[in-house]
Amino acid sequence: MLLSLMASFAVTAHAADDAQAAQAVPAGLPVAAFAKPAVFTDFRLSPDGQYVAVLVPNDRNSGLATIRVSDSKQVGSLQLQPNDHIADYWWASDDTLVATLAVQYSRDDLPSLTGEMVAVKVDGSDFRYLFGDRNAPGLRNSRRARQQWVYAGAAMVDPLIDDPNHILVKSRKWIDFDRNPELLLRLDLKTGDLETLATSPEPGSPTRFVIDHEGQVRYAVTERHVFNAKAWQRLPGKDKWQQVEAPGDADVEPLSFSRDGRSVYLLSREFGPRSCLVEHVLETGTRNKLACDHRAEVDHVITSFDRRGVPIAAVFSPGKPELKLLDIDHPHRELLKLLAEAFPGKQVQPASLTRDGKRALIFVYDDRTPGDYYFFDTTTRKADYFAGVRDWIDPELMSEQRPITLNARDGTPLWGYLTVPKGLSPMRMPLVMMPHGGPYEVRDEWGFDPEVQLLASRGYAVLQVNFRGSSGYGGDFVDAGRKAWATTMIDDITDAVRWSIAQGFVDPSRICISGASYGGYAALMSAVREPDLYRCVVGTAGVYDLKLLKKESDVGRKASGREYLSEAIGSSEAEQIAQSPITYLDRLLAPMLIVHGEDDARAPVSQAKALRRELQRRKLPHQWLVKAEEGHGFQKTDNVIEYYEKLLAFLDENIGTARAAPTPASP
């Protein structure tokens, strides 16, 4: 579609619009349209701007495809063997891509990182393993295998696009994993040889290394778990790390060095409970606040288009994302402003840049659009449509996701979203409360959600709230959820539902609650704590018995995981029993739909089976949908369709829109 001119900024579209319109979702909005995954995702522009790489996901594996920009023709591909997936990928040079791998072990959870790294040329040739176990056979006595310790994994730190022969990775031995330090390594793409550049200042902790523009490793953050992070720095040419004591013992996340190497840009909570964008001048220790918001933390930072890492804007997302341009005299600040104005009501994110910064691939989305990619010329200020994500979705048929605010019972501000079915007035609607998973450092966000839009298309309002423990609202907000799975976090969910009733939005006799993972836990716990509030409960990949979780979950198999569970839930058996919804089933009045994957390792299927036994013993109504070869959430499209259809039938049976005529829309 052709967008209007804004200032001196032009946006045009390719001649693919007619094809897009032909693929739009029909008026009936079939379930399959919402269950069908995107054909291509995660578009990235090559450093020279000649190619775009895309991820190609499917049920059994995933791959890469490369497209020549000049004629939009595919020039190469990489298809992995069954159960292998690409976890992430980068352009390492103009013609070479590097990817990290993940494997679905028996459909175990989502694909699990293996620590393996592979490389492939832009035309799909010269595929080779760079790092990992499958690279070791035949090399076990070689210098290369000894360097890689055979059993170790790597993660990308910097693809070094100006150095076609090397990348920077970090790695830690699998053996004694919780005690070994992470190493920062320079990996030779041709020989596989490794050179150690730095060692983590805190053994046993995941580490984020930051490299200055001269290639020096001078800053790092170690994070034992979500409740414990430390910052470190070292002088140029020195090996010794010194801990950075931020005011108020602030948690920090390093972003990048300034071009002159004198400062590092951080996200830090030193100026309050919510993170701000901060400049830390290393020589003097001076810390300058660049951008803050009293409601929310920094969601992400947008830097200059010249790849020099100069922040020009910060985005905050209390509800709908808000762009805050920095008070900085930089030509790209005005460029970003014009770009945002050219897409009113939408969010604009630079996705990738060419080496010279003259061309960018930008991602544009909103609550009713899965997203579109545009080429943006920073010199001519022209943006051209390139491709859409799930372009069979017609935004005009989708529903609005409205940001909401309310106060919890103790006065704490809460933020969330109410999705109102298109064409309906927000008055006495049937409601599905949908708590998110996680629960820590995860949140609901403004944007297209296929399950939310499916429910809205059938006439159900959907309520989401970022209860305490959610990310985005400060460290104190996260900490308030610690050991509060069954208490404060559930209270926040209840308060949001009661707020929607008090506003007149919701019919109090037609409310269900549905969630996945922790959301499944929260759904059942809410229903036993507030038995008169909900007419039905849906738990997908849910956790219902915390004692069993600590014993059988993959989280409980690692020392760091056990430490996390003790911090998040409690270490004693009494605490685990007291916070388990299965303990309180005698209070349950609503029927329940249990959905689970047999190969779930995060919340093993024993959780669902234990719950079903207790429901059967009490002769409580419930329905059952368990699928083989599925993990922590269904991945196969056919299974997703079956789940969606069963979910809709279950909701219709209990709070169905067929029981009440839709309220006419207001003029």
Cα angle 233-237-240, degrees, rounded to a multiple of 5: 45
- Taken in order 407, 410, 416, 419, the sign of the CA dihedral is negative
Q: What is the pLDDT, as a whole number, of residue 24? A: 33
Joined tokens for residue 1: 């579609």
DSSP secondary structure letters along 17-48: HHHHHHTSPPTT--HHHHHSPPSSEEEEE-TT
Q: What is the pLDDT, as a whole number, of residue 338? A: 92
Q: What is the pLDDT, as a whole number, of residue 133? A: 67
The position carrying tokens 């004693």 is 572
In a domain, 226, yes or no: no
Distance CA 154, CA 138 (A): 20
Half-sphere exposure of residue 26, counting CA atoms within 13 Å on the CB side? 4
In a domain, 495, yes or no: yes
3-state secondary structure 325-370: ECCCCCHHHHHHHHHHHCCCCCEEEEEEECCCCCEEEEEEEECCEE
The total domain count for the chain is 2
Distance CA 313, CA 656 (A): 45
| Contact by Cβ (8 Å): 323, 335 | no
Query: What does the chain come to in residues?
Result: 667
Q: What is the pLDDT, as a whole number, of residue 455? A: 96
Q: For the purposes of burial, counting CB atoms within 10 Å of the CB of 294, is it exposed (0-12), middle (13-18) or buried (19 or more)? A: exposed
Task: Report residues of the chain scoring pLDDT below 50.
Answer: 1-27, 106-108, 136-143, 145-150, 248, 659-667
Summarised one tens digit per residue, pLDDT across range 299-317 is: 999 999 888 788 999 999 9
**Residue where a domain stops, chosen among 173, 199, 225:** 199
Q: What is the pLDDT, as a whole number, of residue 247? A: 58
**Residue where a domain stops, chosen among 154, 182, 199:** 199
φ/ψ (deg, to 5) at 515: -155, 165
Distance CA 296, CA 247 (A): 20
In a domain, 154, yes or no: yes
Q: Give the DSSP letter of residue 297.
A: -
> Beta strand pairing status for 183-188 and 194-199?
antiparallel
In a domain, 412, yes or no: yes
**Residue where a domain stops, chosen among 175, 199, 223:** 199
* Listed residue (546, 540, 541) closest to 568, CA to CA: 546
In a domain, 244, yes or no: no
Joined tokens for residue 101: 């791998």
Domain range for 589: 401-655
Q: What is the pLDDT, as a whole number, of residue 135? A: 57
Tell me the CA distances in angstroms from 562 to 59, 177, 518, 605, one per residue in order: 31, 14, 17, 20
In a domain, 280, yes or no: no
Q: What is the pLDDT, as a whole number, of residue 331? A: 87
In a domain, 594, yes or no: yes
Distance CA 57, CA 63 (A): 6
Q: What is the CATH number of the domain that holds 535?
A: 3.40.50.1820
Distance CA 91, CA 232 (A): 29
In a domain, 237, yes or no: no
pTM: 0.85
